[in-house]
Structure 1
Amino acid sequence: MHLCYLACQATLPGSSTRRVDAYEHDQMVENLSAAFEARGGRVTAVSWDDAAADWAQFDAVMIGTTWDYYDRLDEFLAVLLKIEAKTRLYNSRALVEWNCHKRYLKDLAKRGVPTIPTLWADKATPEVIASAFEQFGCDTLVAKRQVGAGGDGQHRIKRGEAVPDMPYPMKIQPFMSNILKEGEISFIFIGGQYVFALLKTAVEGEYRIQSCYGGKEQVVTPSSDDIAAASAALSALDEVPLYARVDMLRGEDGGLMLMELELIEPFLYPVQGPELGAKVFEALQNLPYRSSRV
């Protein structure tokens, strides 16, 4: 089994523009490589926009640290189409195309998955933000790009503050204070099976929980009800993904609400879940493949 781990120029070692959080790429590749080599396989990291890449040489391609895809979305999706014409792609292009736009949350809400109330805006003008404050009856909002990742272009806005310029279509939500009290719980699934969970918390004075903003994470043992809630969100999909990170936040009623269902390029925390690579190898042997190819 020769696996291609799909990256980008900004996460590959040796890049002159390497991201500050690219060590997460190194952790993923190290974990996967150790597991695959122990089972007679190997892993090669390739930038998704490498025009010289021979996708046919790989038994499968796993989308990994492609952390610039959302600013080059059409190009990225076109490359995924080329990959699927040559080998197995995980997750499938169809799933990626659906998941790359945050409006997928509307689909999941219709399927009964608890989600955070959201106002969708093509342009988050001051008038739209004022309307959101009234609609949600809150004093703090969070505005996020409808196509984006890693907190890029995200804003927390308090009532009465100046509204920043937001040049992208945005999703606007009431700020959920429990992100500061308990934190965000991330459930890691491989081949549709729950593997482990983490609690991610923000540093003092910050609300974003990503590592590039100083966020911290620790392994936790969720209750059976919490695991069931994450599993139910994943079960709402039409296909079983190779990997998924289900990010959830506890509501005022004690139940979990879906923040994001990460199916494209989520970091899967291999240090906290060292069994991750072995689970991926096993899933690749057993998971039915569903291609977007016509």
Structure 2
Amino acid sequence: MTRIGFLACADTLPGAGERRGDAFEHDIEVAALRPAFAELGLDLIEIDWRSPLADFEGIALVLLGTAWDYQDHPAEFLARLDELVARGIAVHSPPDVVRWNIDKRYLQDLASRGAVTVPTLWFDDVDREGVLAAMEQFGTDRVVVKRQVGAGALGQFSFKRDSLPDDGWNMGKPCMVQPFLASVPEEGEYTFVFIDGAFSHGVLKRPAAGEYRIQSLYGGSEHDFAPSPTDLATAQAVVAALPFAAPLYCRIDMARLPSGELAVMEAEMIEPYLYPEQGPHLGETLAKAILARL
């Protein structure tokens, strides 16, 4: 059996003390991948990305899996990926892809290559006045403030004109400000999963009542989604706009603009949850793609 590492972190791995509220997604994904991998001669090994390098002995390839604390330790995470590559282990996504994808300024690169993106202002930091200025520039009464290096909507804020941050508030780190898209709570956010550049399956993610964040941590739910040819082509155009060959896996998250066109919110190639419940063939498809790369 060829050993395949599934990188996780302390609070997503089972049996490691208190786990994240969305750690059940780790369990679902591993349960979907492991038997499909085994059928094709691949042994899936769950491993903390901070484990001693000796623990990676005999692993041929690693998936970045549920390393869901990387955004708070980006330099350490990238250094570990480089160390794995230096030991002859294939890393997916590779360090160069992760370096490009780890800072959401990659959206500027995608836009320059023709992908449809959400209007965005970029700041080294932002305060109350910056939030108000963004509302004026976008012509909106509500905005969302996100970390440039972040994941899972953690550390994210949404402000309205009648509920602005306090005078002394500031984000405290590089961030991005976008107009709030009413389509997210009304319609949902769309996910397109690609394996080796080919569309695998779609997911419609809906927030809980009174919420706009679609992640399970905030009560979001996931549903089967078969995209229209137009919407699928828009997502495929994002993959085509990547400044490198299509990675082993890629998750394109999109939301509908007031114009009716889908715009990319995220192009996730580091450690995206791939929604195996909406893509029951995911394990087999990913295993075959891995075998082709070994």
| Fold shared per TM-score above 0.5 | yes
1:247: which partner in 2?
A: 253
- Determine the C-alpha separation between the residues in 1 that align with 2:209 and 2:164: 23
Give the alignment of 1:143-162 within 5 angstroms: 143-162=145-164
Give the alignment of 1:59-138 within 5 angstroms: 59-86=60-87, 87-138=89-140
What per-residue deviation string (whole Å, max 9, x for no partner) do you get for residues 160-216 of structure 1?
A: 423244222110000010001111000011111101101000111101000010001
How far is the alpha carbon of 1:56 from its aligned partner? 4.2
1:196: which partner in 2?
A: 201
1:259: which partner in 2?
A: 265
Query: Normalising by the residue count of structure 2, what TM-score does the alignment of the two structures yield?
Result: 0.95
- Determine the C-alpha separation between the residues in 2 that align with 1:161 and 1:123: 19
Structure 2: state its 5+ residue gaps. none
2:217: which partner in 1?
A: 212
How far is the alpha carbon of 1:286 from its aligned partner? 2.4
AA at the equivalent of 1:215: G
AA at the equivalent of 2:236: S
AA at the equivalent of 1:279: T
- Determine the C-alpha separation between the residues in 1 that align with 2:156 and 2:252: 20
- Determine the C-alpha separation between the residues in 2 that align with 1:109 and 1:56: 41
AA at the equivalent of 2:245: E
What per-residue deviation string (whole Å, max 9, x for no partner) do you get for residues 131-183 of structure 1?
A: 10111010000000000101111001001423244222110000010001111
1:59 partner SS: strand
What per-residue deviation string (whole Å, max 9, x for no partner) do you get for residues 35-90 of structure 1?
A: 01112221001000112544341121110100100111110000000111121110
Contact (CA 8 Å) 1:46, 1:53: kept in 2 or not?
no
Identity of aligned residues (%): 45
1:64 partner SS: strand
Q: Choose from 284, 287, 291 the match for 1:278.
A: 284
AA at the equivalent of 1:67: W
Contact (CA 8 Å) 1:245, 1:266: kept in 2 or not?
yes
Structure 1: state its 5+ residue gaps. 290-294
2:40: which partner in 1?
A: 39
How far is the alpha carbon of 1:235 from its aligned partner? 1.1
What per-residue deviation string (whole Å, max 9, x for no partner) do you get for residues 98-156 of structure 1?
A: 10000000000000101011011111111211110111010000000000101111001
AA at the equivalent of 2:287: F
1:7: which partner in 2?
A: 8
2:200 partner SS: strand
How far is the alpha carbon of 1:254 from its aligned partner? 1.9
- Determine the C-alpha separation between the residues in 1 that align with 2:226 and 2:155: 32
How far is the alpha carbon of 1:285 from its aligned partner? 2.3
1:170: which partner in 2?
A: 175
Contact (CA 8 Å) 2:211, 2:218: kept in 1 or not?
yes
1:29: which partner in 2?
A: 30
How far is the alpha carbon of 1:270 from its aligned partner? 1.1
Contact (CA 8 Å) 1:133, 1:141: kept in 2 or not?
yes
Over aligned residue pairs, what C-alpha RMSD do you find?
A: 1.2
What per-residue deviation string (whole Å, max 9, x for no partner) do you get for residues 212-261 of structure 1?
A: 10001101111111111111101111121111110011122221100000
1:226 aligns with 2:227: no
